[in-house]
Amino acid sequence: MRTKIDFTKSAQQNADAYFSRAKKLKQKKEGAEKAITELRKRLEKAKKDFVPKDGRRIIVKRDKGWYEKFRWFFTSDGHLVIGGRDAHQNELLNARHFEDNDLFFHADIFGAQVTILKAGMSAEKGVREEAAQFAACHSSAWKEGQRTVDVYAMRRDQVSKSQAKGTLGTGSFLLSGEREWYRDMVLALVAFIKDGTLNVVPEIMFEKLEKPEMYVRISQGNDRKSDAAKKIGKILQYENIDEIMQLLPTDGFRTRPHGAD
């Protein structure tokens, strides 16, 4: 680094001049950083507060997590739960995202998603029940109109594919050993927006949260999935109907916004 020295001044005077200049530059830097931070806050607030004349809410694109290709939610204590939307996703979950410390949940009925509770082996019972209700809701029990269904959980070493090629179809697995049972899990979900992200979670988990200003309770009913998604989108002012549909179970819905009897 080159340094300019004024030979008409003493060493102490040169040092004082550089110190004074450095102090001014530091103050300018701190002022610029403060201005940038304040500008970012004002921009984020403007995004949230802005409503076009037609009353529709603008959706701001965000970076999605890898897990959002599946059905998903975070438990009341922060564990990630992911579930397959079809047989191929069930296979993918088992092959790539089911680890030794996780738990595998499945409704005790033909036609149900694979549900993985990440780090489930160390999760408390109440948290495991949240994953069990999620698995119950995303099973054929919903479409068949069952109000409850039993769900079981298993470890990684209890779930495998057949060694004989072609023995099991896509999305089917060999299960061995004792199962951890969760009896009569009620089929009920709740949808809400948090930090700009749509969440569709099991009801027993939602009851542990601080309630958002607006939310929608989802139960079995006569509405088609597309109609239910549109109602949920209108209530929550969320325009991405396809995303809502991806997070819902099969057909047959009743939606109740916060405050409805």
Domain final position from 186, 210, 236 = 186
Q: How many independent structural domains does the chain possess?
A: 3
166, part of any domain: yes
Domain final position from 161, 186, 211 = 186
Asked whether residue 231 falls in the same domain as residue 122, the answer is no
Asked whether residue 37 falls in the same domain as residue 95, the answer is no
- Three-state DSSP class for 215? strand
Tokens, residue 102: 């996780």
Q: How far apart are CA 209 and CA 66, in angstroms?
A: 24
Asked whether residue 166 falls in the same domain as residue 196, the answer is no
pLDDT by residue (tens digit) across 37-62? Answer: 776 766 665 555 555 555 555 455 66
Residue 93: name the closest of 82, 101, 77 by CA: 82
Report field, pTM of the whole predicted structure over 0.95: no
Tokens, residue 165: 């090629």
Enumerate the β-bridge partners of residue 105: 115, 153
Asked whether residue 16 falls in the same domain as residue 38, the answer is yes
Q: Which domain holds residue 251?
A: 189-257
E strand map for 49-147: 71-74, 80-83, 103-107, 115-117
Asked whether residue 150 falls in the same domain as residue 93, the answer is yes
Asked whether residue 105 falls in the same domain as residue 26, the answer is no
Asked whether residue 72 falls in the same domain as residue 157, the answer is yes
3, part of any domain: no
Radius of gyration of the chain (CA): 27
5, part of any domain: no
In contact, 112 and 224? CB cutoff 8 Å: no
Residue with the bigger pLDDT between 59 and 85: it is: 85
Read off the pLDDT of each residue in 148-160 and give the average, rounded to a whole number. 95
pLDDT band at 163 (very low <50, low <70, confident <90, very high): low
pLDDT at 176 > cutoff 80: yes
